[in-house]
Amino acid sequence: MILHMIDRSAVERLTYEYGGDWEVNHARRLVQTIAAIGKGLAYDQEVVWIAAHLHDWGSCPKWAKEGVNHSVKSKTLAERYLQKAGYPPDRTALVLEAIEFHHGGSEGRSTEAILLSDADALDALGVIGVLREFAMLPCEYRGGYSFPTVLGLRDAYERAQMRKDNSFRMLRLEASRKLARARIKEMDRLFAQLQKETAGCF
């Protein structure tokens, strides 16, 4: 029997080309998180690996378009890529479903799709979730340094606080909720310390 395998280094290279370290490491974290929350579940590991790498291609500078949902764009790009790579149609369908619904939105999703959306929501929680939120502040270069422009630390802080509820609500697996509770505890500790150090001036 020939097992069809995707060229993982080619996928990683393309993910890096489109989204740099940000995207590649986001994908790697999702793969790790899925291994943790998927323990004891039956799922196709290669399908989730591929979906983790391709799911945000549509949000990368080369492909992102105002008014176009990045999940839909990523799905189109993935379909094209996997077809060209001769990936089996049944497994391609699983990858595409996981990509299309990686921010939720469909009942009765496959285990692979649930694992991807749970892992993606978990990436917005904990220390990594906070750092991501602060890294996403729009910045400009002045005198050799990068400074936040219109929005400041308060804005990133408030968005990170909102994620605690919004991302938690997205989770479908009990193992994900357990991990999320631990991550939220870390966020609360970090924010309490921030408040203490700054007396709210941030």
Q: Which is nearer to Fe ion, 110 or 167 (CB)?
A: 167
Q: Are 77 and 60 in contact (CB under 8 A)?
A: no
Q: Which residues of 33-65 are buried (b: 16+ CB within 10 A; e: fewer)?
A: bbeebbeeeebbebbbbbbbbbbbbbbbeebee
Least separation in angstroms between residue 8's CB and Fe ion is 18
In the complex, the smallest distance separating the C-beta of residue 10 from Fe ion, rounded to whole angstroms, is 20
Interacting residues with Fe ion (CB under 5 A): 56, 120
AA letter at 39: K
Smallest gap, in angstroms, from Cβ of residue 181 to Fe ion? 21
Secondary structure element (H or E) that encloses residue 140, with its range: strand 139-142
Rg, Å, the chain Cα set: 18
Residue placing its CB nearer to Fe ion in the complex, 28 or 194: 28
Which residue number, 56 or 97, has a Cβ lying nearer to Fe ion?
Answer: 56
In the chain, helix, strand, coil percent, each to 5?
65, 5, 30
Query: Which residue number, 43 or 101, has a Cβ lying nearer to Fe ion?
Result: 101
Q: How far is the CB of 144 from Fe ion (least distance, A)?
A: 32
